[in-house]
Structure 1
Amino acid sequence: MKFYPQIFWYYFIFQTVDLSVQTAFKNDQWKCNKSSKTCVRVLDGVQKNFYYPSEDTCRLICGEGSLWPQINGETKISKNITAIHPSQISFNLENKIYNNPGVKQYLNDIKDIFITKLFTYCGNPCKKVAEKTLTINVHVNSSELSLSWETNEAYCLQISTTGEQLDGKVEVSIRAETVFGIRHALETLSQLFASYEIIDENTKEMANVLVMISSAQICDQPIYKHRGLLLDTARNFMSIDTIKRQIVAMGASKLNVLHWHITDSHSFPLDIPSVPQFTQYGAYSKYKIYTVNDVKDLIEFALLRGIRILIELDGPAHVGYGWQWGPDFNLGDLAVCVNKQPWNKYCVQPPCGTLNPVNPNVYKVLAKLYKEVININPNQEAIHMGGDEIHMGCWNSTQEILNYLASKNMGQTTKDFLNLWSGYQSKATETYDQQVGHVDSKVILWTSLLTKPEYIQNYLDPKKYVIQTWVPSTDPLPTDLLQLGYQLIVSTKNAWYLDHGYWGGNNPYYKWPTVYHNRIPRHANVLGGEACMWSEYVDDNAVDSKVWPRTAAVAERLWSDPEPTNTNVILPRFLRHRERLVKLGVRSDVVTPEWCSQNEGQCNNFLP
């Protein structure tokens, strides 16, 4: 065994759970109370070999550990820890499939993200105090590089350690069907690291040491296929950097769908080169536009974090600015009721606007819009067409539409209204299928009058349409739609609508325990769920703290759907994950005073 005098006085002995350390501050020590399974801060200044040098290192092995979301499968994690510096990590690609350049590039890219993340978790400077090496052996079976509802995201991860305390070898074996399973395994592995502060013997400055679990066996897979966050960037524009922060946090939480509500009646910021009028008439400014390259960059950025981007092009309601140029180009009114007042007679919120279903030019413009979006994201298995909150007052006050109804011997009854609406939906879907070149793509629609159980089968084919429900947890609608054979994405309105609490009326703010304990049906036709961040009252400056860490609570519900348990049991892991998000640059909201974090169990009557 080699001897390293320069680090002897502040180095861990990692052979067992009993640790001996000289840290930067003698009172920055922690012990694990084995009976209560809590980390306890030690303030007596007396160093003992079973103390841990930081809260992070204690939480790594104490109680429920540090993993978020909770593993859904086999889990064996030792209480032993060893020091590893990120520069001492190498990857071994074990299979001939890596001759596929796309697979090899993806794995190299996620490897770089993993190493960068460990440097971030360690802190600056990150001190190397041992010669131990870490080899990560990666075995993947499939060359599939597109992410869909049918992608296998399961993985198995094994960690073993050999050799002396200061040198030796750690080996990690990761096996998965797809590269996305490998990515999730690396996410889990990164959460088995923690750091603590030391005083560098040479520089006399503060430094950081990274440690990891020395032995583990984990097999894991998600329960739900669709684990999403909706982000609305139409009411208030959000920058590319802001969207990327949400994606980083999503990847760290193992969510896999960013539902991008990119257009609405307020603005149309998506640049469509074949129809430049959309942004010319609809963007808030020339600086608040998403170019084709912006969207492609985000799609690639997201895919490397195990996330696909689902673009929503809302209609026939929730359109307005960006569609009002038809008369100037001899195309007639593409949208009607645009900014019509008093707004509450024609729409659910200002500014009003609804597509004109009787103008054939609408579908010609939609064809160009769909074609551009397909070219931007050719692997998208579904398109979200919105489809909610159609206001009868708009169409029923538009003379062109009334003339059309009269010509078809239709009136202004609910049935006539639904026939007009479903006619639009059929033409829009047919237009999309023509542009994509097949009829296999799914169309997602929000629940609405059209999707009520008594109407839906007359208008929407369950083999074609996926319904996203946004009703309260007590509403029977999801169960009714499942009985009719429809696939669902669930966004429980009274738990997962993260914009609530900032509106007037009876829309309370949902604290993270409410978010966490909301459960959705386990049914073959429930694809999963989404948290929703509508942006009437959020922009670049506020979105992180309103979305995180509450959306991480949704992530665990959708990944492993654990049985209900006391919030105080979950809290230490939740706080640990929140701190990871902060280190990754996400301005995640605080959920408890730090004193409560450092004194587990002492705030039980105070915490939500």
Structure 2
Amino acid sequence: MKAPKSSDLSTVLLMAVLGLAQSSLQEDSWSSQWTCEENKCVRSSVPSSNVNQLNSIHICSLTCGQYGSLWPRPTVDTDLGSHLVEFNPGRIRFDLSQLSGGQDARNMATQITRIFMENLAKECPNITDDPGTEVVISIATSSPSVELNMETNETYSLHLATEESKVTVAIRAVSLYGARHGLETLSQLTACSALPGGPLLMVADARVVDRPVFVHRGLLLDTGRNYLPESAIKRTLDAMAASKLNVLHWHITDSQSFPLQLPRVPKLARFGAYSSEKVYPAEMVSRVIEYARLRGIRVLLEFDAPSHAGNGWQWGESESLGSLAVCVNQQPWRHFCIQPPCGQLNPTNPELYNVLKDLYTDLVSLIPPDEIIHMGGDEVFFPCWNSTEEIVNWMAAKGMDRSQESFIQLWAYFQSSVLDLVDEQRGHSNTPTILWSSHLTEPKHIEKYLNKDRYIIETWVVSKDPLPKELLEKGYRLIIATKDAWYLDHGFWGSTAYHNWRVVYSNTILRHKGVLGGEVCMWGELVDDNSLDTKVWPRAAAAAERLWTDPVSSTNAAEHRMYEHRERLVRRGVKADALAPQYCYLNDGQCQ
């Protein structure tokens, strides 16, 4: 066969390129039209010249079904219209004339509206300059307070109406934090058109009345095992705000590392941080707390003690303070702790309490007035104390033997002493504190050691364990962290089982006046900035709807809204894990 001339080859290549281009154009000229049929978005292919507003499943989902793509599902009343209106963010105007409170309230309102606009920009980053419909958002509140605490009223109502070329949105709430939730819901009533350059679309008419079932809706992050940068914590807060979670439980230190830089006790971080770069200075913690507050989230700092305290505490003897902690990094570790490296504070050393006084003085100065501190208090390993001569001699001098009950008494002595230190720094003894469930909180003797008016117990037992009911019967307030459903680290180590979003969502907790709410926990042994998002999200959002709505419906009823919320988190910069093949997202109900 005769080889082609170079000119012939060029012609062949040109035709091939044109053919590919033509093929691409033909593919691009086809899009998808979506219709809502029996509360499900159904797709059909049509020429692009006939594409209407419902040109993506994301847009169809805004008005399909009673709750559209809202997450978490509203609890009181939801009425979404079936029509959409085009608008441009450049024509949004905020009316803050009905805010209660002074300049602090106005400043905060300005910040939460800014965050709302930033979220809209993430929905549709390449919007056209078409002026579009004017949108006026009025925000009215009845409480002048900008404080965020467990008593903050988060109820809100949203009424959206469209008349001719104007959209009016009225958000009414007791607090600015309820108004913030209303703005989050409004952002979830918008979507970007799949057409090039936008526009943004909004549900034309809607009415939502909403309030949470539980006041404590938390996520635990652990920075003692692996350091998480400030950017990762803030990204997590953004995802929490999108899901209406309202508590970041920051397990900031552990026996592996002490990254918290405290002005009065700088040696803790100097001896305990992994490096000088992997620390949390006080000003960084303050930034995170304020960042969270503007998103309706409280930050609970946890300094776990007397166990889970090792690295960072080695310097006592060199400063003539004696052993502040014992069993630090001892081997074989199984003789001295539950997880390596070992370390427990020395409750018999009076110098320890002077150091703790400085530590809690710094902690109290970092957080808002009367904010709760989580004191940890789990997994005290009695063989560590029992193998420490200084401790057993002290106990013997007090007439105590070496039984489990005696070590529980020693533990209770430590806990009472540190609570007194915190009360001294606050100037009163009214603020409760949180402890993990442990030997100290067992129903048979908890009332002997822990005042039910001062202590909230966070239980981390399996769902069938009777402990929560037993503690409620004794009058204690609880936060529930169900180990076999809400421990997000499970499935990545040992014989633990992975809890997918359906397991997380289906974990019901007691509806009781003593149950404040619950938390999902991302323990950090196998998590850093590279894997944080995919291990937390969107599973934590499943818990968010459980804690906000406590629905009686199944995960099948929530499935498509969960798919939509996962896509929303991705658009907002969170690398949320995939839940299913995209086919399942595009074919509602076909994979159940």
* TM-score of the aligned structures, taking structure 1 as reference length: 0.91
Inter-partner Cα distance in structure 1 for 2:233 and 2:198: 30
- 1:357 paired with 2:347, answer yes
Question: Which residue of the partner structure matches residue 586 of structure 1?
Answer: 574
SS of 1:461's partner is: coil
Inter-partner Cα distance in structure 2 for 1:380 and 1:322: 27
How far off is 1:132 after superposition?
Answer: 1.2
SS of 2:374's partner is: strand
- 1:188 paired with 2:185, answer yes
How far off is 1:159 after superposition?
Answer: 0.5
- 1:30 paired with 2:20, answer no
How far off is 1:262 after superposition?
Answer: 0.2
Question: Which residue of the partner structure matches residue 16 of structure 2?
Answer: none
The amino acid that maps onto 2:501 is W
Say if 1:385 and 1:443, in contact at 8 Å, map to a contact too. Answer: yes
Question: Which residue of the partner structure matches residue 101 of structure 1?
Answer: 103
Say if 1:445 and 1:465, in contact at 8 Å, map to a contact too. Answer: yes
Say if 1:462 and 1:485, in contact at 8 Å, map to a contact too. Answer: yes
Inter-partner Cα distance in structure 2 for 1:47 and 1:237: 52
Residues 288 and 49 from structure 1, CA distance in 2 versus in 1: closer, same or farther, beyond 3 angstroms? closer
Question: Which residue of the partner structure matches residue 150 of structure 1?
Answer: 151
Say if 1:84 and 1:128, in contact at 8 Å, map to a contact too. Answer: no
* Aligned-pair identity (%): 47
Question: Which residue of the partner structure matches residue 401 of structure 1?
Answer: 391
Question: Which residue of the partner structure matches residue 126 of structure 1?
Answer: 127
Inter-partner Cα distance in structure 2 for 1:32 and 1:524: 44
Counterpart selection for 1:509 from 480, 498, 501: 498
Question: Which residue of the partner structure matches residue 414 of structure 2?
Answer: 424
Inter-partner Cα distance in structure 2 for 1:294 and 1:222: 30
Say if 2:90 and 2:131, in contact at 8 Å, map to a contact too. Answer: no
**1:255-278: per-residue Cα shift (whole Å, max 9, x none)?**
000000000000000000111101
Inter-partner Cα distance in structure 1 for 2:35 and 2:507: 31
Say if 1:153 and 1:222, in contact at 8 Å, map to a contact too. Answer: yes
Say if 2:488 and 2:520, in contact at 8 Å, map to a contact too. Answer: yes
How far off is 1:569 after superposition?
Answer: 2.4
Inter-partner Cα distance in structure 2 for 1:284 and 1:31: 53
Inter-partner Cα distance in structure 1 for 2:309 and 2:59: 51
Say if 1:264 and 1:314, in contact at 8 Å, map to a contact too. Answer: yes
Between the two proteins, the alignment pairs up a number of residues equal to 566
Question: Which residue of the partner structure matches residue 77 of structure 1?
Answer: 80
Residues 39 and 27 from structure 1, CA distance in 2 versus in 1: closer, same or farther, beyond 3 angstroms? farther
How far off is 1:33 after superposition?
Answer: 4.1
- 1:560 paired with 2:558, answer no
Inter-partner Cα distance in structure 2 for 1:547 and 1:508: 15
Q: Which residues in structure 2 correspond to 1:510-525 (within 5 Å)?
A: 510-525=499-514
Inter-partner Cα distance in structure 2 for 1:408 and 1:574: 58
How far off is 1:50 after superposition?
Answer: 6.9
Question: Which residue of the partner structure matches residue 15 of structure 1?
Answer: none
**1:467-506: per-residue Cα shift (whole Å, max 9, x none)?**
000000010100000000000000000000000011112x
The amino acid that maps onto 2:79 is K
**1:196-239: per-residue Cα shift (whole Å, max 9, x none)?**
132xxxxxxx3221100111111100010000000000100000
SS of 2:90's partner is: helix
Q: Which residues in structure 2 correspond to 1:475-490 (within 5 Å)?
A: 475-490=465-480
Question: Which residue of the partner structure matches residue 531 of structure 1?
Answer: 520
Q: Which residues in structure 2 correspond to 1:310-329 (within 5 Å)?
A: 310-329=300-319
- 1:571 paired with 2:573, answer no
Residues 280 and 46 from structure 1, CA distance in 2 versus in 1: closer, same or farther, beyond 3 angstroms? closer
Inter-partner Cα distance in structure 2 for 1:400 and 1:96: 61
The amino acid that maps onto 1:578 is R
Counterpart selection for 1:173 from 164, 170, 174: 170
SS of 2:138's partner is: strand
Inter-partner Cα distance in structure 1 for 2:586 and 2:58: 11
**1:405-456: per-residue Cα shift (whole Å, max 9, x none)?**
1101111111111111100000011111101111011110000011111111
Gaps (5+ residues) in structure 2?
Answer: 1-26
Say if 1:310 and 1:380, in contact at 8 Å, map to a contact too. Answer: no
Question: Which residue of the partner structure matches residue 65 of structure 1?
Answer: 68
Question: Which residue of the partner structure matches residue 21 of structure 2?
Answer: none
How far off is 1:51 after superposition?
Answer: 6.8
Question: Which residue of the partner structure matches residue 540 of structure 1?
Answer: 529
SS of 1:558's partner is: helix
Gaps (5+ residues) in structure 1?
Answer: 1-23, 199-205
SS of 2:62's partner is: helix
Question: Which residue of the partner structure matches residue 6 of structure 2?
Answer: none
Question: Which residue of the partner structure matches residue 18 of structure 2?
Answer: none
Question: Which residue of the partner structure matches residue 240 of structure 1?
Answer: 230
SS of 2:200's partner is: strand
* TM-score of the aligned structures, taking structure 2 as reference length: 0.94
The amino acid that maps onto 2:71 is W
RMSD, aligned CA: 1.5
Inter-partner Cα distance in structure 1 for 2:31 and 2:289: 43
